[in-house]
Amino acid sequence: MNIGSSDKTIFVQGPYLLYRLAMAVILSISLIFIDSKFSQLDSARRFIGSALTPIYWLSALPENISHGLSGLFTSRESLQEELDKLKSQMLVLERKSQKLSSVTAELNRLRELLNASRLLDEGVVVTEMISASPDPDNQYIQINKGLNDGVYLGQAVLDARGLMGQVIDANDLSSRVLLISDSRHAVPVQINRNGLRAIAYGVGAVNYLELGSVPATYDIKVGDLLVSSGLGGRFPEGYPVGRVSEVIIAPGESFAQVRVVPEAQLNRSKLLLVVFKQNKPGTSNETAIPPQSSIVSGGRNASQI
């Protein structure tokens, strides 16, 4: 198969090509240098990211169409069944929330008595995941809410069951969420049962996290629920992070090895919640997260504990 031959093409070889390569190499090395040391390129990244939104939208299109079609052909019985199920579920949840509102009010009163800085109840916005990272070593997802919807860097993202991750990069229409399972991520947590604090590190696997520096004498058991402790100022307090699945105490080691299964369905959830902290004037000592803190300092500043 003789393709694309024209006599001009001979001259793409030779010294010109080498010069152009040298220019490209210089350009990319300076880009790498500038992007890793300074923040001037963030607006360029945001601009390109916004321009790429149609690609994400188109890539989600087949799934949306099939979802729409399956909705079109669902039988009346199964819809009725689902409706009944949801109604009964709603009753149960309503009863719980009735109790919860009185408990929250009481808790806030008690916190006021104690002069505590923050009140409960953050606002949430429902968002949809539009794509996952193509690279298993960088565990990102892309969500369809961006700066225009008020999303800010460092914001916590939840699914129906627990903490998913935090926003690390936002453009006007969509933003990128680093999952808690990424190997560069850490969450400050506490054990729900007794309030002991720890830090849950991602290890790059979707199905477990590890707790760092847990003394072998710590009161921690398999099945303990870990909730976010709110220390470090990035994640709101009290959202479930995971359940302890394994505690290995090796004789002679001063630290126990603890594995945690995330509560959130990191690789399955499609509908997510973005949490807005309500910074009521005078009631909060938490200022906005500095927009330029990097992922590592953002996640790992839990070491302030």
Partner 1 sequence: MQARFSWLAVLVSFLAAAILEVLGLPDILLKFRPEWLVITLIYWQLRYPDKIGISTAILLGLMMDVISGMTFGTHVLAYSVMTYLVLSVHQRLKMFPVIQQSVIVFFLVGIQLMVVYLLSMALQGSQSGLSYLWLAFTSAIAWPLVLILTDRLALSLR
Q: Is 3 in the site for partner 1 (CB under 8 A)?
A: yes
Kind and range of the H or E element at 213?
Answer: strand 209-215
Q: Is 138 in the site for partner 1 (CB under 8 A)?
A: yes
- In the complex, the smallest distance separating the C-beta of residue 76 from partner 1, rounded to whole angstroms, is 31
Closer CB to partner 1, 174 or 229, in the complex: 174
Closer CB to partner 1, 38 or 284, in the complex: 38
- Alpha helix (H) residue ranges in the chain: 15-37, 42-51, 53-72, 76-113, 295-300
Q: Is 176 in the site for partner 1 (CB under 8 A)?
A: yes
Closer CB to partner 1, 159 or 224, in the complex: 159
Q: Is 292 in the site for partner 1 (CB under 8 A)?
A: no
Token code pair at residue 288: 């906005």
Closer CB to partner 1, 27 or 90, in the complex: 27
Residues in binding contact with partner 1, number by CB under 8 A: 59
Task: Quote the Cα angle for 150-155-161, to 5°.
Answer: 115
In terms of Cβ atoms closer than 10 Å to its own Cβ (0-12, 13-18, 19+), residue 277 is buried
Q: Is 43 in the site for partner 1 (CB under 8 A)?
A: no
Half-sphere exposure of 100 (CA within 13 A, CB side): 8
In terms of Cβ atoms closer than 10 Å to its own Cβ (0-12, 13-18, 19+), residue 216 is middle
Look at residue 45 and give its three-state secondary structure: helix
Q: Is 114 in the site for partner 1 (CB under 8 A)?
A: no
Closer CB to partner 1, 30 or 292, in the complex: 30
Token code pair at residue 226: 């870990």
Q: Is 131 in the site for partner 1 (CB under 8 A)?
A: yes
* Piece of the chain touching partner 1 by CB under 8 A; list 34-42, 87-95, 143-151, 297-305: 34-42
Q: Is 267 in the site for partner 1 (CB under 8 A)?
A: yes
Closer CB to partner 1, 142 or 228, in the complex: 142
- In the complex, the smallest distance separating the C-beta of residue 61 from partner 1, rounded to whole angstroms, is 9
Selected binder of partner 1 within 86, 116, 136, 288 (CB under 8 A): 136
* Piece of the chain touching partner 1 by CB under 8 A; list 96-104, 129-137, 190-198, 245-253: 129-137
Scan for tokens 């914001």, then name that residue.
Answer: 155
Q: Is 135 in the site for partner 1 (CB under 8 A)?
A: yes
Which 3-state string (H, E, C) describes 90-158? HHHHHHHHHHHHHHHHHHHHHHHHCCCCCCCCCEEEEEEEEEECCCCCCCEEEECCCHHHCCCCCCEEE
Q: What is the footprint of partner 1 within residues 56-85 (CB under 8 A)?
A: 56, 58-60, 63
Token code pair at residue 121: 């109840």
* Piece of the chain touching partner 1 by CB under 8 A; list 50-58, 83-91, 194-202, 209-217: 50-58
Largest CA distance in the chain: 86
Q: Is 17 in the site for partner 1 (CB under 8 A)?
A: yes
List contacts with partner 1 (CB under 8 A): 1-6, 8-13, 17-18, 20-21, 23-25, 27-36, 41, 44-45, 48-49, 52, 55-56, 58-60, 63, 130-138, 140, 142, 169, 176, 183-184, 204, 206, 267
